[in-house]
A and B are shown apart, each in its own frame.
Chain A
Amino acid sequence: MMRDDRNKHSSFIHELNKNKTLLLMILPATIYYFIFMYLPMIGITLAFKSYNYSKGLFGSPWSGFENFKFLFANGKILRVGFNTIGYNAVFIVVNHSLQIMAAIFLSEIGAKYFKRLAQSFMFLPYFISWVIVGGIIQNIFNYEFGSLNTLLTSLGLERLDAHMNIGMWKYILVGSSAWKWLGYGTVIYLASIMGIDSELYEAAAIDGAGKFTRIKRITLPLMVPQIVVLVLLNIGHIFRGDFSMFYQVTGNNPLLYETTDVIDTFVVRSLLQIQDIGMASAAGLLQSIICCIILVTCNSLVRRYQRDYALF
């Protein structure tokens, strides 16, 4: 027994020695992850504590499920959670449909110059920070001199007050998301169309299939794997709101919280403005757990559907 153990031990040392350089090379990223990803996990306990700034993480007293009770008591978390899922679901449907259509049309038209120009314009918003999008939103939807109202008055129509018309912000958010991601998604879908064997189209043309038939019978069915994978990956993050987008597009306007608040904006606000650390970490923990469950489910679906595309 003893000898066996010692053998095992020395072979482990030997193994370490053999991989010394590689282990040293992976060390920086490992330490980085330990400090910035794994250490904060201790802080999950904050969700069960009543945080006191002077006492810090370890000194603050435990409070059981008090933070969660408070979170559910004012009903905010349900509305915020519902908003997060609702917005993301609409984003997924709208964005992917627009991107798929753009990719199909781009792949089918002949005019090279037009094609390149259209793709350049559509891809441009991807490069812009959400801060700038916030500026653009101010330009368009300002009541007194926004360009939307400039257009409406020049057409003899009535002005639109975006800040009185709270429901309008749903559409503005959907529009902003579509605007930002159209070019990016189109590139991915276009790549998958380019991968389709052109002989299929030639054969279909010989059989007398028109453009619409070819798209319906060849392009779309062959895009399905890519679509399913991308959509499932997005669904995996359905419980995570794009903070920058919601914050900048709505200008963090308290009047709009009812319709536009998502978990991520709620958490940041609880942390920085209300400074309710307990509630913020309780909401964050809840989000992490639900996200984890959804992501694992989605990944197992991807794995069942297309093994190669599974993330883990």
Chain B
Amino acid sequence: MAGVNTINIKSEKTGMNYREPLKVKRSREELFFGILAYIYLAFASMFCLIPFLLVIGGSFSSESSIKRYGFRIIPKEFSLEAYSLIFRSPRQLLNAYGITIFITTVGTFSAIFLISMTAYVLHRKDFKYRNKFALYFYFTNLFNGGLVPWYILMVRYLKMKNNLFALIIPLLFSVFYMIIIRTFMSSIPDSISESAKIDGAGDFTIFIKLILPLSKPALATIGLFVALNYWNDWFNAMLFIEKRNLIPLQYYLHQILSTIEGLRRILQDLPNDAVVELPGESFKMAMTVVTIGPIILLYPYLQKYFIKGIMLGAVKG
């Protein structure tokens, strides 16, 4: 509104009457831009959303309708066959869930403690070896031994094959997250730790009693990132886990999706007469839905923390 008014004044000053065309041109441009923006965003949203709807639609379709009509968002023949199959022999699924929940919980808390403690030391400007340690941690981002030597160390020398530590250790530390937490800690006024020091508190006490509670917002967001990494990890399971009862959720899903063998194994657990036609395709989709489930349910709640976290990180690198 303010814009239109000023143009008015200007045109009166110069005595030229271009008020009308400009206004029309501008509102037309505004309208065109608006339409463009809504179309782009609507397309982008659908592009991101539709794959999920397809998977959900597929999971509720009967196997015969998938074979006849193909996958679609709205099932041609609605069926709960795939889900009932999952819940008839849920032992392996529940076991995989248990493993994932275990490594996510233990991993996230250990990682946050390790990362924040390191960040605390490196944020202390009076710590003499600050830069040397920072270089020590950062250097491996520039150059490292690569996958093969690491794999051989883990398997041959540390005996990590079929060991749950092999799923926790690789995601335990990240220089990137450490830098974010360190930056956050640097924004806490020094006077707080100074006064505690005068009262005779040691460095570790200051860290546990003062800095950690004050860093809660940063720790919570970074904790969620770490938790998501653990939850979605399948690669380390592929490298190190062979025992069926140690397989985490994502790798379990990978086995089901990539091999018919994986599917057969589950079906073996069922009584022989239970399955007439293998609901292979709908079963795969239902399994995918069951795996995404918790994230979708928590998503509305999680989203804002992740946005905060990305913005914390965007400030530096």
Task: Answer whether residue A238 sits at the interface, using C-beta atoms and an 8 A cutoff.
Answer: no
Task: Answer whether residue A301 sits at the interface, using C-beta atoms and an 8 A cutoff.
Answer: no
Specify which of A109, A117, A187 is in contact with B307 (CB 8 Å cutoff).
Answer: A187
How far, in angstroms, from A33 to B26 measured CA to CA in the complex?
A: 59
Main secondary structure of the interface of B (DSSP, over half): helix
* Cβ distance B185 to chain A, nearest Cβ, rounded Å: 13
- Name the residue on B nearest A45 (C-beta): B149
Residues of A within 8 A of B83 (CB): none
Residues of B within 8 A of A121 (CB): 44-46, 48-49
- Please determine whether A135 and B288 come into contact, CB atoms closer than 8 angstroms: yes
Interface flags for A97-121 (1: CB within 8 Å of B; 0: not) read 0100110011011000011011011
Task: Answer whether residue B254 sits at the interface, using C-beta atoms and an 8 A cutoff.
Answer: yes
- Please determine whether B66 and A182 come into contact, CB atoms closer than 8 angstroms: no
Main secondary structure of the interface of A (DSSP, over half): helix
Find residues 102-149 in chain A having any chain B CB closer than 8 Å to their own CB: 102, 105-106, 108-109, 114-115, 117-118, 120-132, 134-136, 138-140, 142, 144-147, 149
- Please determine whether B128 and A33 come into contact, CB atoms closer than 8 angstroms: no
* Cβ distance A247 to chain B, nearest Cβ, rounded Å: 8
- Please determine whether B148 and A267 come into contact, CB atoms closer than 8 angstroms: yes
User: Known: A57-B152, A153-B70, A205-B2. Is A292-B48 also a contact (CB below 8 A)?
Assistant: no
Find residues 7-66 in chain B having any chain A CB closer than 8 Å to their own CB: 7, 10, 22, 25-26, 29-30, 33-34, 36-38, 40-42, 44-49, 51-52, 54-55, 58, 66
- Please determine whether B30 and A210 come into contact, CB atoms closer than 8 angstroms: yes
Task: Answer whether residue A44 sits at the interface, using C-beta atoms and an 8 A cutoff.
Answer: yes
Task: Answer whether residue B203 sits at the interface, using C-beta atoms and an 8 A cutoff.
Answer: yes
Residues of A within 8 A of B114 (CB): 28-29, 32
Residues of B within 8 A of A118 (CB): 41-42, 44-45
Give the total of A residues in contact with B, Cβ under 8 Å.
108
- Please determine whether A25 and B52 come into contact, CB atoms closer than 8 angstroms: no
* Cβ distance B310 to chain A, nearest Cβ, rounded Å: 5
Q: Identify which of A69-77, A81-89, A160-168, A279-287 touches chain B.
A: A279-287
Specify which of A120, A131, A146, A243 is in contact with B257 (CB 8 Å cutoff).
Answer: A131
Specify which of A37, A182, A212 is in contact with B44 (CB 8 Å cutoff).
Answer: A182
Interface flags for B146-169 (1: CB within 8 Å of A; 0: not) read 111111110010000000000001
- What are 5 of the A-B contact pairs (CB < 8 Å)? A26-B133, A29-B114, A118-B45, A187-B310, A206-B6
